[in-house]
Amino acid sequence: MNMISAHTPATYEGALPAAVDFAIIGGGIIGLSAALSLKECGFSVAVLEKGRVGGEQSSRNWGWIRKLGRDAAEIPLMIRAGQLWQDMETRVGASIGYREEGIIYLSRNDKEQAARYRHFETAQQFEIPVERLSAAHVEQQIQGLPGYWREGIKSPTDARVEPLLAMPAIARHAKSAGIIIRENCAVRGLEKSAGKISGVICEAGTVRAGAVLLAGGSWTGLFLERYGIRFPQLSVRASVARTRPLPSVYAGCASDPALAFRREENGGYVVALTDHSDFFLGPSAFKNTRLFAKSAWGSRGSLYLKPAAPSGFPDAWTTRRTWRDDQTSPFEKNRVLSPAPWSGLVPQLQKRIAERFPALKDVEIAEAWAGMIDTMPDTVPTIDSVPGMEGLWVASGFSGHGFGIGPAVGEVLANLMQNRETGYDLTRFRFNRFTDGSVIEPGP
Ligand SMILES: Cc1cc2nc3c(=O)[nH]c(=O)nc-3n(C[C@H](O)[C@H](O)[C@H](O)COP(=O)(O)OP(=O)(O)OC[C@H]3O[C@@H](n4cnc5c(N)ncnc54)[C@H](O)[C@@H]3O)c2cc1C
């Protein structure tokens, strides 16, 4: 399984269609899920991806399909997403490494335990199966240093998949279902007629569409800024690694306040530090300081400030904020947002793995990478139409947990874009919540 980068050969190329019922900007899990659900309703759909399908967050994530530790407003959607993932291998006709091995949240002291226990209470409220594990129970399930963890909370129906298997498989299925996918196809802007969005202007031409979905991950704010629309989204760098194959110490996913690990299909572990992410200062950071104050305070101690993002990143100081439709846009200048991982990652991971698993003290890291997590001030996404832009919908800002919930969001979007009832209360995800005077309450 190789990481997807701008050097990965493009799979989906060809002429653009003149018109479709729905055009989708962005071929991540959200764009593809919405495309599949719209296609299943009988519509023509085009997914326009500036780089490679699944190349950004959707293939760089940990692959956790989790119901615990979420904002209560997301849980009904996540329960539905869990069902969709259970059936995903049948739906797409390929193995994606789906395993329902559960997720365990571990703690070492009272303070950590209290924080974990809040997940337990929310889960019970929604009748999600959840187990409280004593130290002895943890030891039965995770072969770590005896006594290292004092307690665990387990969500036995949570699952894992391999994002690097899932994203290509979902895209192949989408194509065979008749969805038009185009890679190397940045959308520079929107076409408007009779006061309504009527298509997308791509680097290779225009595609007319009855409605447009913007599912641009970390690039969504920049895209909307060109139209004078404020979408308060910032991104943080999260670094990850995979080990070489190792004896199994636990078959599912687990995390404590410093280390997260997930068994991989190839017999190694995907590992990450749970107390380190990097935030690059840029123009949007300054514009949105007030809105992000609460969530930044909540992440103090684990968020490391850097003065500037690398050139070409959405919030780099030199990234253009405006351009014309016939000019190269920032989206085609950076085909696949692929940050270098934090330089201190590997030694820290090796140290923390050895502390918890003495048997794995000589662990070798096979590969390290990073992704830019797009976050909103309240750490929940926006799933709504864009005010003042009839025909434009947005689903973005999934704040580090959009992969698992993606398939259900796709279903919701298909209904929303047909002006049908969704069956969910989406108030928490409305577009104008940062401007209508509401108090910002960050999710867990
Ligand atoms: C390290 C890491 C670990 C994570 N772990 C988990 C996890 O375990 N579980 C979980 O649920 N979530 C996790 N997440 C979060 C999850 O990966 C994201 O929330 C989710 O993938 C977002 O999907 P998306 O489709 O919105 O965005 P993306 O996957 O980022 O896709 C957006 C796409 O839009 C394209 N695009 C943008 N602008 C344009 C344009 N103008 N024209 C054409 N194309 C454009 C981009 O190239 C990109 O491919 C993690 C994220 C990271 C980085």
State if residue 410 touches ligand 1 by the CB under 6 angstroms criterion. Answer: no
Cβ 27 under 6 angstroms from ligand 1: yes
Atom of ligand 1 nearest to the CA of 26: 34
Beta-ladder partners of 253: 103, 262
Any idea what DSSP says for residue 9?
P
Mean pLDDT of the region 261-267: 96
30 CA → ligand 1 middle, Å: 8
State the chain's mean pLDDT as an integer.
Answer: 96
Q: What's the CA gap between 403 and 387, in Å, rounded?
A: 26
Q: What is the DSSP string of 348-404?
A: HHHHHHHHH-GGGTT--EEEEEEEEEEE-TTSS-EEEEPTT-TTEEEEE--TT-HHH
For ligand 1, say whether the CB of 200 is within 6 Å of any of its atoms: no
The per-residue pLDDT for range 202-238, each reduced to its tens digit, is 999 999 999 999 999 999 999 999 999 999 999 999 9
Residue 270 burial (CB < 10 Å; 0-12/13-18/19+)?
Answer: buried
Q: Closest Cα to atom 3, ligand 1: which residue?
A: 61
- Residues 244 and 266: their CA atoms lie apart, in Å, by 9
Q: Which of 12, 58, 64 to probe ligand 1 with, by most ligand atoms within 8 A of CB?
A: 58
Q: Which of 56, 98, 158, 393 to mutate to test the pocket of ligand 1 (most atoms within 8 A of CB)?
A: 56
Q: What is the pLDDT of residues 309-327, one digit of tens each?
A: 999 999 999 999 999 999 9
Nearest residue to 33 via CA among 371, 431, 417, 291: 417
On the question of pLDDT at 118 being above 90, the answer is no
Tell me if 280 CB under 6 Å of ligand 1.
no
Domain 19-102+157-434 has CATH 3.50.50.60: yes
Tell me if residue 150 falls in helix, strand or coil.
Answer: coil
Q: Is the distance from the beta carbon of residue 186 to the nearest atom of ligand 1 less than 6 Å?
A: yes
CA of 56 to the centre of ligand 1 (A): 5
List of residues 6+ apart from 282 with CB closer than 8 A: 308, 309, 313, 315, 316, 317, 319
Q: Which tens digit of pLDDT belongs to each residue from 5-57?
A: 999 999 999 999 999 999 999 999 999 999 999 999 999 999 999 999 999 99
Assess whether pLDDT exceeds 80 at residue 1. no
Nearest atom, ligand 1, residue 239 CA: 1
Centre of ligand 1 to C-alpha 58, Å, is 4
- Residue 161: CB within 6 Å of ligand 1? no
Q: Where are the domains of the chain?
A: 19-102+157-434, 103-156
What's the pLDDT score for residue 121?
A: 87
Token pair 């030891």 in the structure block, residue: 139
Structural element, H or E, at residue 25 = strand 19-25
Q: Give 289's pLDDT tier (boundaries 50, 70, 90).
A: very high
| Residue owning the nearest CA to atom 37 of ligand 1 | 216
Say yes or no: CB of residue 48 within 6 Å of ligand 1.
yes
pLDDT at 375: 97
The answer to whether residues 339 and 310 touch, using CB atoms and an 8 Å cutoff, is: yes
The percent of residues in the chain predicted with pLDDT above 90, rounded, is: 94
pLDDT of residue 371: 98
C-alpha 225/C-alpha 221 separation (Å) is 6
Of 33, 57, 190, the one to substitute when testing ligand 1's pocket (max ligand atoms within 8 A of C-beta) is 57
Q: Which atom of ligand 1 is found nearest the CA of 395?
A: 26
| Beta-bridge partner residues of 279 | 236, 305
- Encode 312-337: b = buried (16+ Cβ within 10 Å), e = exposed: ebbbbeebeeeeeeeeebbbbebbbb
E strands in 203-330: 205-214, 234-243, 253-255, 259-263, 269-273, 277-280, 303-306
Tell me which residue of 7, 3, 392 sits closest to 187, measured CA to CA.
Answer: 392
